[in-house]
Amino acid sequence: MPAAGNIAITDSQSLMAETRPSICDQTLDRAALQRLARPHALVQCDLAGADLSRLDLSGWSFDRCNLRKTDLSGARLERTHWKSCRAAFANLTGSDLGEAVITASDFNNASLKRARVEDANFGQCKLTGADLTDVRALTLHFEETLLIDAKLPGLSFRRATLNRVDFSQADLRKCDFRQACFTQSSLREANMQAAVSTARTCAAQILVGFALSTPASFAAQPYRGSKQRNY
């Protein structure tokens, strides 16, 4: 089941990024990408609303690109790099984001339902309202990321390090936070009802700096101390 932690970029990923040919300031569609024979680095390109479903874009990078309402459902996006992209309402349902590195990007209200996100890293991102229902992963990393009102039912954050992650009003039913380490993170008004059966025995341990409200659900306030607590 998914877990969360810190972002790490391997040497092989960095080398791959340096060797990609670049395309800058272009409006691109499905046909344009299909004509390209190997992974490219797209810089400030406009792919808004494009149908890129089921394309193999493994190893590509997207820098300051517009992907608003882009259809990437079923696309192969393994080892992709995303930086400062705008992808509100994008459809990534059933896509493969394994080992993707996504930094300082806006995926608000995007659909990642049933996506494979094994070892994907989200850092300094906005995933407000995003739907991550039934994502597939053993490890999934979040840091300095907004997940306000996001749907993440059933995800495991066991032993995760959650640094500046905002889960306010998120759907966290059946999530597992045992032995998680929270640093300046928030669970304010999150839906934790079904998660209590998993975390009931250790709720007091994982919620250091948070307020438990009822046996069936809990609303949390941001931890205001400077000391990390890990159990």
- pLDDT greater than 80 at residue 49: yes
Whether 42 is in a domain gets the answer: yes
Q: Encoding tokens for residue 225?
A: 């101390």
Q: Encoding tokens for residue 151?
A: 């749907």
Whether 114 is in a domain gets the answer: yes
Whether 219 is in a domain gets the answer: no
Residue 180, pLDDT score? 83
Question: For residue range 161-203, what is the model confidence (pLDDT) as tens digits?
Answer: 899 999 999 999 999 888 888 899 999 999 987 674 343 333 3
Query: What CATH number should be reported for the domain holding residue 94?
Result: 2.160.20.80
Strand partners, 61: 41, 81
Write the DSSP assignment of 65-109 as a string of letters.
-B-TT-B-TT-B-TT-EEES-B-TT-B-TT-B-TT-EEES-B-TT
Residue 18, pLDDT score? 57
Can you tell me the mean pLDDT for 158-162?
A: 85
Q: Encoding tokens for residue 55?
A: 């394309």
Looking at per-residue pLDDT, the higher value among 40 and 196 belongs to 40
For the chain, what is the mean pLDDT?
Answer: 82
Q: Encoding tokens for residue 12?
A: 């092989």
Looking at per-residue pLDDT, the higher value among 227 and 61 belongs to 61
Residue 172, pLDDT score? 95
- pLDDT greater than 80 at residue 219: no
Whole-number Å distance between alpha carbons of 56 and 147: 28
C-alpha 73 chain-centroid distance: 16
- pLDDT greater than 70 at residue 24: yes
Whether 60 is in a domain gets the answer: yes
Q: What percent of the chain has pLDDT over 90?
A: 65
Whether 55 is in a domain gets the answer: yes
CB environment 3-21: b (16+ within 10 A), e (fewer): bbbebeeeeebeebbeebe
Whose structure tokens read 């407000």?
Answer: 128
Residue 209, pLDDT score? 35
Q: Encoding tokens for residue 77?
A: 């996006």
Whether 202 is in a domain gets the answer: no
Question: For residue range 67-105, what is the model confidence (pLDDT) as tens digits?
Answer: 999 999 999 999 999 999 999 999 999 999 999 999 999
- pLDDT greater than 50 at residue 217: no
SS3 state at 62: strand
Residue 176, pLDDT score? 85
Q: Which domain holds residue 56?
A: 14-119
Which helix (H) or strand (E) covers residue 182, if one does? strand 181-183
Domain total for the chain? 1
- pLDDT greater than 90 at residue 56: yes
Whether 47 is in a domain gets the answer: yes
Cβ-based neighbours of 102, under 8 Å, separated by 6 or more: 81, 82, 85, 120, 121, 122, 123, 125
Whether 61 is in a domain gets the answer: yes
